Amino acid sequence: MNSTFLRLTTLITLAGTIALASCTREYANYPPITGDDFATKNVNASFNMKNAMAAALRWTAMRYPPPGGDNAPFAINLPAGSSEETYERIVSLVGHGAQPISEANAKTLPVYHVTRVWLRGEIARIDIIRPVFEVAEKPGGGHVYRGVEVRLAGGWEPWRVTGSSEYEIGVLEPPALHIPGTPADRPLPANTVDDELPVQPGQQSGPQSGQQVVDSPEEK
């Protein structure tokens, strides 16, 4: 084995190691934090953000499933700017009846919203706003919604849920719909998702005092 081949093999191995390490050390925020120019903000360009969102959505949909039994359909609403390809990948990873949000299914299906992604290397915290099926609908019709912070670990390995905390009802409300294939930050169409207003940036912090702590299935 000549020295040129050995040097080439070493360089290829080193490049692969660096790529893997940089992937696991990814630092990402959604929504973007003012003044933070280092963090990844584009969910379409981040492999880890997509996989972490999919793991959090899948866990939430299984922990708080829509009525109708296994594989009952529901819609997912991803962060602003999410491409059709990003929706397709996340829907395929979530499974269990998941569909990309559309103006049509937003009127007929339960919707699970991703409103915050906080990723620091091998840990992540993701806020999902989900319909509350265990309480009656609002007087004017439509689901009551509640936020849940899903905590995950991963990076080198597939993302897994390590815990969760629920926000009090009313702390987080469903954001605008981000229909794949349309401009980012489009306004919420009338008469969909209970006509809720978009979440303000100040509402994206962690669970407030008085939160209800919910154990992850893996912790039981």
Which residues does 96 contact at the CB level (< 8 Å), separation at least 6?
Answer: 58, 61, 62, 65, 70, 71
Instruction: Give the number of residues written for the chain.
Output: 220
* Phi, psi for 188 (deg, rounded to 5): -65, 120
Q: Which helix (H) or strand (E) holds 61?
A: helix 47-63
Residue 38 pLDDT = 63
Peptide bond between residue 31 and the one before it cis (omega within 30 degrees of 0): yes
Mean pLDDT by 10 residues, the chain (220 residues): 49 38 64 68 84 97 90 94 94 96 93 94 95 78 90 90 94 92 52 34 40 40
**DSSP at 96:** T
pTM: 0.72
**In whole angstroms, what is the distance from residue 84 CA to residue 180 CA?**
5
